[in-house]
Structure 1
Amino acid sequence: MSDRPPKPPRQEQWDNFMEIPLAVASLVYLAGYAVRILADDSLSQVWLDLCLALTFAAWAVFGVDYAVRFRLSRQGVLRFVRTHLLDTVVVILPLLRPVRMVNLYYRLQGRREKPRLSLYARVMVYAGLSATLLGFAGALTVYRFERDAPGATIVTFGDSVWWACATLATVGYGDVTPVTPMGRLVAVGMMACGLALLGAVTGSFSSWLIQVFTREDEKGPPGDFPGAS
């Protein structure tokens, strides 16, 4: 049973009010970060500074949202951090914030009396979207630190995307690997997330298959198995 207390009405109103602004800020942050890394050689300094300003503005939105929710929760600092650990992590590491955009889809589905997708399909969609956003963010970060490193094998963004896909899928071909401390730190995080997401998808798919086969067995008349009398 979760130890997170029920949300006060004002906090619930704030969360609903900030759904769209946080999703937009997440996209702005990811876009600004991506442009600064992928187009830093082709853009003028003015555009690069604008991207940096948008990135910090989006980060400020995350910080303000976190502070307001802490104030409205009426909890102590340690208890709030413990019960909102993921939110705390994405404020400290805002590049993970776009992954939280998936929550917008989840909350919109939850408001429907009958969601369009089944529970298993929602888990797989959630995991798929999270893996896509996390892989893109991880590929950007690794490319930023690896491209100019001595002895690097990840020298293009394509190499970085290939590496991110292999890492999240827990394949690990080893043809391209990070050599910098930051790149390896990102790799460890992506390995852990890849295992968790892959486990969620595999578990949901297995449960769905078991449910389908169980329904088929219940519909079939006795003696429809080979060798049954």
Structure 2
Amino acid sequence: MAAEAPAPRREAWERRTTVPLVVLGVVFIVTYTIYVLAPWVPRGPGSPLFVALIVTWLVFVIDVVVRISLTPRGGRWAFVRSHPIDVLSAIIPLFRAFRVLALLHNVPYLQRRSGAAVRANIIIYGSTYAVVFVYFIALATLQAERPVAGATITTFGDAIWWAIVTVATVGYGDMYPITAEGRFYAVFLMVGGVAIVGTASATIISYIGEKVSQVHSRRQHDAAGTAEDGDEPGIEPPGRAIQTAIEEAGAAEDEPGA
């Protein structure tokens, strides 16, 4: 896939609006939480809750439209394809919350490209997105299910429990959505769960693999030194190497160059 064409005007707009959009994203998270969990709070047209939700939605729509318009004409579809969360944030409330995480890109450590930094990047982003993902799916599903007769998801506790067991690909079946909207969120949650579990597994395997490699390198170095002294070098079984790597992982992480 060809790289996205430079768009200096759009990039300048993004630099100026990142922090305000993050603040508005936090406002949206708080407002939407109150909207779902505190139904007794006034929410009709003209109420502070209604105004906050509408204003945050309009700002996200305007931001996406402006960014597309500031992109050179030939690269606008490429921008839409490469920024799905940004575009969907103007349509689906769930993605508006994800825009709050944009400032994580500015953390200096996450700009590094070492193995440890890449894993830290994945862990931080993955954990944060997973929490926001589960939280907002639970809220949205509760909003859809609660008023329907025969629903099994009627409290926030029910919604969080259902969302966690679903995203973990466990799915006890004690609670499930019965509305079309709730089932749409469930499908979305299941797809996200596969991605989250897969990413977590790959990160753990990468971490253990690196530690096994470090332990083998140390053992080979020690064995070479022993051989130079005239002793017979020993070969450590792979299973023991893995166990040793896990036991020494914490200490190895603190060593210089780990």
TM-score, scaled relative to structure 2: 0.78
Which stretch has the larger CA shift, 45-54 or 3-12? Answer: 45-54
What does residue 52 of structure 2 align with? 54
Q: Give ranges in structure 1 of 5+ residues lacking alignment.
A: none
Which runs of structure 2 are paired with 1:8-19 in the superposition (5 Å)? 8-19=7-18
Which runs of structure 2 are paired with 1:160-175 in the superposition (5 Å)? 160-175=159-174
DSSP 3-state at the match of 1:155: coil
Return closer, same or farther for 1:71/1:187 CA change in 2, 3 Å cut-off.
same
Deviation above 6 Å: which 4+ runs of structure 1? none
Query: Could you tell me which amino acid in structure 1 is paired with residue 6 of structure 2?
Result: K
- State whether residues 86 and 95 of structure 2, in contact with CA within 8 Å, keep that contact through their aligned partners in structure 1: no
Shift of 1:15: 1.6
What does residue 69 of structure 1 align with? 67
Return closer, same or farther for 1:48/1:101 CA change in 2, 3 Å cut-off.
same
- State whether residues 177 and 183 of structure 2, in contact with CA within 8 Å, keep that contact through their aligned partners in structure 1: yes
Query: Could you tell me which amino acid in structure 2 is paired with residue 8 of structure 1?
Result: A
Which stretch has the larger CA shift, 74-83 or 216-225? Answer: 74-83
Which runs of structure 2 are paired with 1:95-110 in the superposition (5 Å)? 95-109=94-108
* Higher RCO (CA 8 Å, separation ≥ 6 residues): 1
Shift of 1:53: 0.8
DSSP 3-state at the match of 2:4: coil
Deviations 1:90-112 (A, max 9, x none): 22113222123223213334685
- State whether residues 45 and 51 of structure 2, in contact with CA within 8 Å, keep that contact through their aligned partners in structure 1: no
Which stretch has the larger CA shift, 144-153 or 101-110? Answer: 101-110
What does residue 37 of structure 2 align with? 38
Deviations 1:49-75 (A, max 9, x none): 211211111111111211121122113
Q: Structure 1 CA distance, aligned partners of 2:138 and 2:145?
A: 10
Number of positions where the alignment pairs a residue of Structure 1 with one of Structure 2: 224
- State whether residues 25 and 97 of structure 2, in contact with CA within 8 Å, keep that contact through their aligned partners in structure 1: yes
What does residue 225 of structure 1 align with? 235
- State whether residues 120 and 205 of structure 1, in contact with CA within 8 Å, keep that contact through their aligned partners in structure 2: no
Q: Percent identity?
A: 30
DSSP 3-state at the match of 2:6: coil
Indicate the RMSD between aligned Cα atoms, in angstroms: 2.4
What does residue 94 of structure 1 align with? 93
DSSP 3-state at the match of 1:150: coil
DSSP 3-state at the match of 1:166: helix
What does residue 241 of structure 2 align with? none
- State whether residues 139 and 164 of structure 1, in contact with CA within 8 Å, keep that contact through their aligned partners in structure 2: yes
Shift of 1:9: 2.3
Shift of 1:186: 0.2
Q: Structure 2 CA distance, aligned partners of 1:14 and 1:224?
A: 62
Shift of 1:88: 1.8
